[in-house]
């Protein structure tokens, strides 16, 4: 656990490794779907990275012999990227926030995401406040659009101890 006597200004953070991600969002295996967040501009945008491997549990049933990452998992990875962005923007590191989807709109899926792919998850803030945030997200593989969506989420600090 970090030394709480030393305050840190997270607003200048431009990259979050797995350790920092886990200090911001509560997700853990098998539902932690991002490996890194880079190009962070707090309050504005960020790009998450998801390294897709065959060892992920959803590939056992989606689909045997032809593994494809479920579209809802791609949208969730976009949302986790946005949660890291908001966590840094609002100084929520080590404060155990919970983030809840409120809506998902304009979701489109353009290409399959399969084991071996590296997915870039770009999120841009459309609207943000202390609790309610709206984002536009795109997921790409090698520069090719895999998925896109707009989504809203609520940040809740009261649900944790």
Active-site positions read: 62
Measured CA to CA in angstroms, residue 160 lies from 94, 130, 155, 157 at distances of 11, 17, 12, 6
Pinpoint the alpha helices (H) of the chain. Answer: 18-24, 71-89
DSSP letter at 7? -
């Amino acid at each position: 656990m970090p030394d709480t006597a030393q305050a840190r200004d997270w607003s200048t953070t431009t990259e979050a490794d797995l350790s920092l991600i886990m200090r911001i969002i509560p997700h853990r295996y098998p539902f932690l779907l991002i490996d890194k967040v880079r190009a962070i501009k707090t309050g504005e945008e960020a790009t998450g990275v998801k390294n897709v491997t065959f060892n992920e549990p959803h590939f056992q049933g989606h689909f045997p012999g032809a593994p494809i990452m479920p579209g809802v998992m791609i949208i969730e990875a976009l949302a986790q990227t946005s949660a890291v962005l908001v966590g840094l923007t609002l100084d929520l590191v080590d404060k155990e926030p919970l983030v809840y989807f409120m809506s998902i709109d304009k979701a489109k899926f353009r290409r399959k995401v399969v084991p071996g792919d590296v997915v870039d998850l770009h999120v841009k803030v459309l609207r943000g406040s202390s609790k309610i945030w709206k984002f536009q997200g795109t997921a790409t593989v090698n520069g090719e659009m895999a998925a896109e969506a707009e989504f809203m989420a609520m940040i809740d600090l009261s649900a944790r101890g």
